Each structure stands twice: as C-alpha cells, then as structure tokens.
C-alpha cells in the first residue's frame, strides 16, 4: 500500500532525502522545488517502506488506507501530480524516476579554518541557515533574537489549531543546544548592539528577520477602530509578547470581513468562528480564548479581488476549511463568472477545489444566521471603504455588479506581510527587502540575508531550506576565497557586551526553562502548553531554575 503526503506538508524535503526509490517530488535539485504547494509521492513508485513517514517533521505522511475524512482526498492529490508525466522505463518497475548526478554542495578545503557566524532571527529561515552551517561545516554559530524566546513565525505565526506544523520548530530547536551554537536571545540589533559591533565580533552575519509589518489597503476608513491587520490578530491569538491582550477587541460584532484569500486569511477566518472548546485544547493565548468564548461572531466574509481560479490559498488549506466542525463554507455567487469558473474547472485547478461547496447569492441586508457559523467566500470583490463613523460598521465592497455594503463590526486586512528597514543595511522600499546578490547584501562584505527579508514574503516553511542553502553557499564561498573581514572581538567578548547592554538576555538554559514552564502550565490545564505572554514573564521563567536546563 502506497503512502501519501497530506495537508500539513512543510516542503522542507526531509522525506526526499530518506526515500530509497526517489518517488517524492519535486526534489531540491528540480526547478519546481519551492514553487509547488507541497511535495507529492508517486503511488506507482512507492514501495511502502515508511521511511518518509518516520522522517517527516510535521507528521504529514500516512499510508493511503489510513486516510479518512478530509485527508482521503490526498490519495488523489498525490497521484494527480504525476498524471501525464513520462518517466524513463526500467525493467520490472512500472514507474522509475531517474536519479540526478551526485552533488556535493558543501565540499570545503581540508584546511578550512573555523569561522564564527551570527544568525539574527530564530525563525525557520535563520534556523535552516544555522542547521546548514552546524551540520556541514566547523563553524561556530551565535543565535540572536530580539525576543527573549526563540521560534519566530513558527511560534507566533502558525495557527494554534495546526500543532503538526509547529513540529518543524521542535526539529529545528535541537540546534539551540548544539555544542558549537551559542544562544543570545533578548538582544535587539540596532538598539542593544549596533550592526557594526555585531560584525566586529563575527566573521559573518546572516540576517533572518522576516517581514514583521503588513501591507495596507489604502481605503477610506482603514484606521477606524475595528479595523486591524492580520499580523496583529495572529500575534494576539498566538500570545506574542509585543501584542497586548487588549490590542484586539471583538466587541459585539456578529460578522467580520477579512480582505484576502491567502492561507493567513483562511487561518484568521477559521479561528474567529471555530468552537472555542476545540481551541481550548491548543496553545492559543488565554486572553484570545476568553474573548472568543464571549464573542458573538457567527460569520466571516473573505473578500477576493479576483476569481476562484486565482485564489491565493493552497489546496490543503481550502480543503481543510470545508471540514471545520460546526462551520459551513459558502461561495457567494453574486457574479455569474464565479459559478462558471468552478463548474468548468479541470481537476487540479484552484477553482475545482470548490466543486461541491454550497453556493448562495447572499443578501447583505440580512444579518448572519444565528443558528450556524459560517465562512463566506466572495470573489471578484474589492474593498472600497470602511464605513463608520466612530467604528467599523460596514465594509463597502466593489465589484462588477456594483458596490455592496456588507454590515460588519470587524475588518481584517490579510493581503501580505512586508519587511521593514534594518539599522545599517540597505533597503528597497518597493519590495520591502534588503538588496542582495545570492544572499550577499549589496555593498556590505560579510553580511548576508535569508528568508522573507531576502526574497519577500512568499513560500512556506520548507522554502526557507533552499533559500538558506543559497545564502550559506555564498557565505562559504566568500570564506574560502578569503573575502570575509577578520573579527576584532572574541565570542566571549560579544557575550559580555550583550549581557551589559540587554537586561533581558536569555541563553540556551534559560530557553529550556521557558519551555519547561510553559509545558507545565499546559499540563495543569490539559493543553500542550500555555505560553507566557509578556517579556518580563519570559525573562523571569528563563532565570528560574535555569541550571536544570542544557548548557548552551
């Protein structure tokens, strides 16, 4: 019986490396790696060994005979990916994927001297860069984050009801205690330590700071109370220490409008209308859970500027949205093109994912049905104005059939993240990224970027592995060629500097203490963990019983 990859695929290719028959694609060496929504197992080549399932960091791979409910669709999704392809024939095998030429991307001179590299940011991009350096070189790595806890978007960006996806963070966290890694959390570059001081203590610096801001709609009323960014809402329900519990108010709204059809928009919609009792078994912030228990929200409308064939969500996320317990998924057929696009879509097309989904031409003069919760997909509909006057009361949505005023007490923009300028580094205001060449920051020898601040806010967790490989490759090439500046300060001196400048410094033992404290709080409440929600709480937990943690 073959295996299949399912919804939570992170595309980091860990499974590819262990497959003995090369049946998982695209591989990192193939041109479409990082562009597909997930990886796929060829059912005609799979030999049912289970090695991929054992290696998967997010528990996304199962035998097809164990797929039930919404996961059953993934047997077809995996198989469809290989339809029409022409594999090379081989004796006694129905399908054969030829192996590529061996590649030794980290072949270094035997006399390669150890280098000291600072990685700023402990999200997936930074940790994949650290993993590459620690596994394939003799480099010493300093892990730095402005927050006193590690994880980045894996901790504060993944929806709480996606615990399997958070498993990638556990896999990467093993490098926090690597013997050649030093953890310096709670240190903000540009505030506590200047970029010049950081560079003076390291051979190279890799910035993996992500895209922490958001894009704006640019419509009248966008700054009214009740209008907020998905960035703020996601941080709020994930207990980000820089987002206060009172930063989000659900008020008495019965309907919310979310602008966007990407995965973040779907996450926000799902969390807002999910049963709080179900969310109570996750690591959602306590204040968010309490607010959702008291919320009157019954309906979330997702506005998409284009049609269902161009929606930004992945197949896995929209399929999951149709199976949220107690929540109906409805397509608003206000425009005839919507139904036509869905009905005529070929298998594998985005619009085809909505075949079988309930349809309705919604009458916005009526309030939400108080008997059921639902999510409404409204395509060919762009936000034109948030109507007040004192707070959001409705959202005017334009479209080919004229404007529609959708009564709503909450407006969430989920149209993309955006990078912010970094102290001492060049910045492209148009793209929201740091100008670079293959990860090398333009005009700054020994300084590199990786992740969203390098390529823009695109790609899932796994895309950061190949992104990091390119940047680390550039860094090592510069090191071999003698182009890295020689540091004038030692690692020990940097530790003293960081400790003298930051009153919230956390090391690997402190990080382990935070993890123990949160897991203990979770165990007492019957949850996987209960996050500490403020910087002082995190620092206090790090300093409490820190000697029980691993040395780092």
pLDDT at 205: 98
Q: State the CB neighbour count (10 A cutoff) for residue 191.
A: 11
For 195-212, how does the pLDDT look when each residue is reduced to its tens digit (9 = 90+)? 999 999 999 999 999 999
Q: Are residues 146 and 223 in the same domain?
A: no
pLDDT at 8: 85
Give every CB contact of residue 545 below 8 A, 6+ residues apart in sequence: 513, 516
Give the residue numbers spanning the domain of 47. Answer: 3-80
**53 vs 56: CA distance, rounded Å:** 5
Give every CB contact of residue 452 below 8 A, 6+ residues apart in sequence: 125, 210, 211, 417, 419, 433, 458
pLDDT at 126: 97
pLDDT at 1: 75
pLDDT at 91: 42
Domains of the chain: total: 3
Which residues does the chain have with pLDDT short of 70? 85-95, 104-105, 370, 545-552
The reply to whether 124 falls in a domain is yes
Q: Are residues 186 and 226 in the same domain?
A: no
Q: Look up the CATH number of the domain holding residue 458.
A: 3.40.50.720
Domain boundary among 360, 382, 416: 416
pLDDT at 88: 44
The reply to whether 551 falls in a domain is no
The reply to whether 160 falls in a domain is yes
30, 201, 416 from 159: Cα distances, Å? 30, 37, 16
For 394-433, how does the pLDDT look when each residue is reduced to its tens digit (9 = 90+)? 999 988 878 999 999 999 999 999 999 999 999 999 999 9
Q: Are residues 68 and 49 in the same domain?
A: yes
pLDDT at 92: 45
Domain boundary among 367, 388, 416: 416
Q: Are residues 398 and 478 in the same domain?
A: no
Contact 124, 154 (CB under 8 A): yes
**1 vs 498: CA distance, rounded Å:** 55
Q: Are residues 246 and 392 in the same domain?
A: yes
The reply to whether 155 falls in a domain is yes
Tell which residue, 278, 280, 363, 362, has the closest CA to residue 326: 278
Q: Are residues 279 and 327 in the same domain?
A: yes
**145 vs 166: CA distance, rounded Å:** 19
The reply to whether 392 falls in a domain is yes
Domain boundary among 30, 56, 80: 80
The reply to whether 362 falls in a domain is yes
For 64-123, how does the pLDDT look when each residue is reduced to its tens digit (9 = 90+)? 999 988 899 899 999 988 887 655 444 444 567 878 777 766 788 988 999 999 999 999
Write down the pTM of the prediction: 0.92
């Amino acid at each position: 019986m073959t295996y299949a990859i399912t919804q939570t695929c992170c595309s980091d290719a860990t499974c590819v490396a262990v497959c003995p028959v090369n049946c998982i694609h695209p591989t990192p060496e193939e041109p479409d790696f990082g562009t597909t929504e997930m990886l796929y197992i060829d059912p005609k080549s799979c030999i049912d060994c289970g090695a991929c399932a054992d290696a998967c960091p997010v528990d996304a791979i199962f035998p097809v005979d164990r797929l039930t409910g919404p996961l059953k669709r993934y047997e077809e999704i995996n198989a469809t990916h290989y339809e029409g392809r022409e594999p090379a024939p081989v004796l006694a095998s129905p399908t054969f994927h030829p192996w590529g030429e061996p590649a030794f991307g980290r072949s270094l001179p035997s006399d390669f001297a150890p280098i000291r590299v600072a990685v700023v940011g402990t999200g997936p991009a930074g940790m994949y860069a650290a993993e590459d350096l620690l596994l394939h070189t003799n480099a010493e790595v300093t892990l730095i984050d402005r927050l006193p806890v590690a994880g980045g978007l894996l901790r504060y960006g993944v929806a709480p009801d996606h615990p399997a996806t958070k498993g990638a963070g556990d896999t990467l966290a093993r490098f926090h205690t690597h013997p050649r890694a030093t953890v310096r959390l709670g240190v903000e570059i540009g505030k506590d330590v200047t970029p010049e001081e950081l560079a003076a203590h390291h051979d190279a610096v890799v910035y993996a700071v992500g895209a922490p801001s958001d894009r704006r709609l640019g419509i009248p009323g966008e700054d009214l109370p009740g209008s907020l960014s998905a960035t703020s809402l996601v941080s709020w329900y994930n207990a980000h220490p820089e987002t206060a519990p009172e930063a989000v108010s659900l008020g008495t709204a019965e309907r919310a409008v979310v602008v966007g059809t990407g995965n973040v928009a779907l996450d926000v919609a799902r969390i807002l209308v999910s049963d709080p009792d179900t969310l109570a078994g996750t690591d959602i912030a306590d204040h968010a859970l309490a607010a959702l228990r008291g919320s009157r929200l019954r309906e979330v409308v997702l506005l998409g500027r284009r049609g269902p064939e161009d929606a930004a969500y992945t197949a896995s996320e929209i399929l999951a949205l149709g199976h949220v317990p107690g929540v109906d998924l409805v397509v608003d057929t206000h425009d005839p093109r919507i139904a036509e696009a869905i009905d005529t879509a070929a298998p594998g097309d985005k619009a085809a994912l909505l075949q079988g989904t309930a349809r309705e031409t919604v009458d916005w003069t009526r309030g939400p049905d108080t008997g059921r919760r639902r999510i409404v997909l409204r395509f060919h509909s762009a936000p034109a104005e948030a109507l007040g006057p004192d707070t959001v009361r409705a959202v005017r949505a334009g479209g080919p059939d004229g404007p529609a005023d959708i009564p709503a007490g909450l407006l969430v923009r989920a149209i993309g993240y955006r990078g912010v300028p970094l102290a001492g580094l060049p910045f492209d205001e148009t793209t929201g990224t740091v100008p670079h060449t293959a990860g090398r920051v333009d005009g700054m020898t020994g300084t590199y970027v990786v992740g969203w601040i390098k390529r823009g806010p695109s790609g899932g967790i796994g895309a950061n592995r190949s992104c990091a490989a390119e940047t680390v490759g550039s860094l090592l090439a510069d090191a071999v060629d003698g182009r890295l500046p020689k540091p004038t300060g030692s690692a020990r001196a940097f530790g003293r500097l960081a400790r003298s400048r930051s009153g919230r410094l956390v090391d690997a033992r402190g990080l382990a203490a935070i993890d123990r404290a949160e897991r203990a709080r979770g165990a007492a409440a019957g949850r996987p963990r209960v996050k500490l929600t403020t910087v002082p709480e995190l620092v206090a937990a790090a300093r409490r019983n820190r000697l029980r943690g691993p040395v780092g």
